[in-house]
A and B are shown apart, each in its own frame.
Chain A
Amino acid sequence: MDNGNGFQIAGRDFGSRLIIGTGGFHNLQVMAEAVEASGAEMATLALRRVDPSSRGSIVGVLENAGCFLLPNTAGCFTARDAVATAQLAREAFETDWVKLEVIGDDKTLLPDPAELLAAAEQLVAEGFTVLPYTNDDPILARRLEDAGCAAVMPLGSPIGSGMGIRNPYNLRLIVEQARVPVILDAGIGTASDAAIAMEMGCDGVLLASAVSRAQDPPRMAHAMRLAVEAGRGAFEAGRIPRRLYAEASTPMEGVPELT
Chain B
Amino acid sequence: MNVVLNGEARELRDGATVTDAVEASGAPPEGRGVAVAVDGEVVPRGEWEQTRLSDGQRIEVLQAVQGG
- Contact status A45-B64, CB under 8 Å: yes
Q: Are B32 and A92 in contact (CB under 8 A)?
A: yes
Q: For chain A residues 94-146, which have a beta carbon within 8 Å of chain B? A: 94
Kindly state whether residue A3 has any CB partner on chain B within 8 Å.
Answer: no
Closest CB of chain B to A234's CB: distance in Å? Answer: 27
**B66 to A58, Cβ gap below 8 A?**
yes
The distance in angstroms between the C-alpha atoms of A44 and B28, with both chains bound, is: 21
Interface-centre pick from B37, B40, B62 (highest chain A CB count, 10 A): B62
Q: A44-B67, A47-B63, A49-B61 are in contact. Are A59 and B32 (CB under 8 A)?
A: yes
Q: Which residues of B contact A50 (CB under 8 A)?
A: 6, 25-27, 34, 61-63
B33:A88 contact, CB within 8 angstroms: no
Given contacts A48-B62, A49-B7, A50-B6, contact A88 B37 (CB under 8 A): yes
Bound Cα distance from A74 to B60, whole angstroms: 16
Tell me the total A-B contact number using a CB cutoff of 8 A.
104
| Contact indicator B42/A45 (Cβ below 8 Å) | no
In Å, the complex CA distance between A25 and B67 comes to: 9
Within the complex, which residue of A24, A31, A54, A209 is in contact with B63, where a contact is CB–CB below 8 Å? Answer: A54
Please determine whether A44 and B6 come into contact, CB atoms closer than 8 angstroms: no
Given A48-B62, A50-B27: A93 and B42 within 8 A (CB)? no
A interface, CB within 8 angstroms of B: 21-25, 31, 44-52, 54, 57-59, 71-72, 74, 84, 87-89, 91-94, 159-160, 186, 208-209
- The interface of chain B, by Cβ under 8 A from chain A, is 6-7, 25-28, 31-37, 40, 42, 44-45, 60-68
